[in-house]
Structure formats: structure tokens, C-alpha cells
Amino acid sequence: MNLLKKVALVLGSGLISIGAAQAGPLVTLWDYTFNSHWESYLPSAGVTNNGTLGTPSATILSWGTSTGPGQSSLNIIAPTISTQVTTNGLQADGSLLQHINNPITGTTLGSAVLHSTLVFTPNTPAGSTISPAFEINTGIAFLETPNSIPCASASTVPCDDIFVITTPLNQILSFIYDNNNYAIDIFPKIGFGVVPLSSEACLAAAPSSGGSCVGFTTVEGGNNPMQLAFTVNGTVPEPGSIALLGLALSGLAVIRRRRAVV
């Protein structure tokens, strides 16, 4: 058997084994559960939470001495969201937060970390839940503004309080399922409370931001929302094995012709 035939047989058998590991169908629909709780906060004295910090029971941070309406607080309105998301489709909702902004005195919140867990299960086609679950932390810096001119948030008196997102705006989590590639992009939901803030607001609430940040401002005496969101993108790997075989055989054919000439 000549060299060209031998190589063709070897590469052909390799393609059979590669074919056995080819990607399955792309998952087009996922069931998901998005859970969030407060992982940590500062200052440790003067701010309280309603559960055990770092567990699903910690959903409300409260601070300050009330001047009438009650303490200010930062609440996770929907600690658990269970629904579906489409691959390469529209964004899906994550946790919804609400800042109850009451006039207070005394100690105020300085910063907090929101811990979120995302559980994914293939729906179409059906499959096993992805393990382990995906986990992210979202950092928040907070400034309880004095109600006097000038307001750091460019609002009118009483001044809006300021929240700054201190972790990366987009947190991308990648995984492989059934030999296909997927990426989850988790981000603050722009336009739903979260917007680019002015340089003055960024520096006032988070000096390390350098004057460039995103976050949300909250009106005194109001209930102000902020929400996380995410998208799922999936790609099928390129079937490069056949192209590699063609290149290999072409190269061998060239060598064979050269030998024939010699």
C-alpha cells in the first residue's frame, strides 16, 4: 500500500472518532433560576440585615435613624426568579432591587456586595442541569447625600442619593454543553435605574472610579428600582476536520508528483 493511501486511511479513521465527538444541537431555550442575597456590607456597625449574611435569608439592608417615615433600606424585591431565556435572544431579568430613600440621621450604608447564583437547565432540547451553578458578585458603593446645594448628583434639593456599580459592568461566564460553546453576559439593566453617572456623582460616591462609572440615583422619599439582566449566546464549533484532511491529502499529492518528476 503506497504512502498516500496509508495516510488517507489513518486520517479517515481519525475523522470517524472526531465525528463521534461532534457537537449536538444548539440549546435554543433554557430554564433558569436567578437567586440573590447580600453577601457583605459596610459599615458593620449601624447597618443591619434581616437574615443571616451570606445566605438566601439576607435580603434587606437597613440603616439610619428615622426622622419620621422610617429607616432607609436596600431591598431585594425578587430574591428568586424562575423562568426561561432564549439562546441568542433578548435579555432576561435577574434580581430586582429597591432603595427606599427616607430622610434619616446617623450612620448610613457605605457599600455592599450582592451575591447572585444562576442555575441553568436545557429545555429545548431537554438535558441535565449545568453543574456547578454560576455565581457572581455585584459591588455597590453608596453615598447618602446631604440635602444642601450643590447636589453631587446634579439634582435639586433634597439631593438624590447615589449608587455606583463598582464591579465590571459586564460579567461574562463561559461554558461548554454538548460540545457547543455558550456565554452568559450578566449586567446591570441599563435604562431600568442604571445609567452612566456624571463625573461629580462618580467621584462623590466612589472616588476610585476616576470620575467614570455607571449606577443610579434615588429620589428622597421615594422607592427607587434597579435590576440585573443577562443574555445567553451560543455558537457551534467550526467543523475543521474535513478541511484539515483535504489539506493533508493535497500536500501528499504534491510530494508524490515531485517524486515522480525526479
- Give the confidence band of 122 by pLDDT, cuts at 50, 70, 90: very high
Q: How far from the centroid of its chain's Cα atoms is residue 69's Cα?
A: 35
The more confident residue out of 63 and 11 is 63
Q: What is the pLDDT of residues 63-93, one digit of tens each?
A: 999 998 999 999 999 899 999 999 999 999 9
| Cis preceding linkage at 125, omega within 30 | yes
The whole model's pTM is what?
A: 0.81
From CA 248, how far away is CA 3, in angstroms rounded? 12
Q: Is the pLDDT of residue 10 over 50?
A: no
From CA 250, how far away is CA 254, in angstroms rounded? 6
Domain boundaries, given as residue ranges, for the chain: 29-232
Averaged pLDDT for residues 90-115:
95
From CA 45, how far away is CA 202, in angstroms rounded? 25
From CA 59, how far away is CA 35, in angstroms rounded? 11
pLDDT of residue 252: 42
From CA 82, how far away is CA 34, in angstroms rounded? 6
Helix or strand (DSSP H, E) at 18: helix 3-20
- Give the confidence band of 59 by pLDDT, cuts at 50, 70, 90: very high
Taking residue 238's Cβ as centre, other Cβ atoms within 10 Å add up to 7
- Give the confidence band of 21 by pLDDT, cuts at 50, 70, 90: low
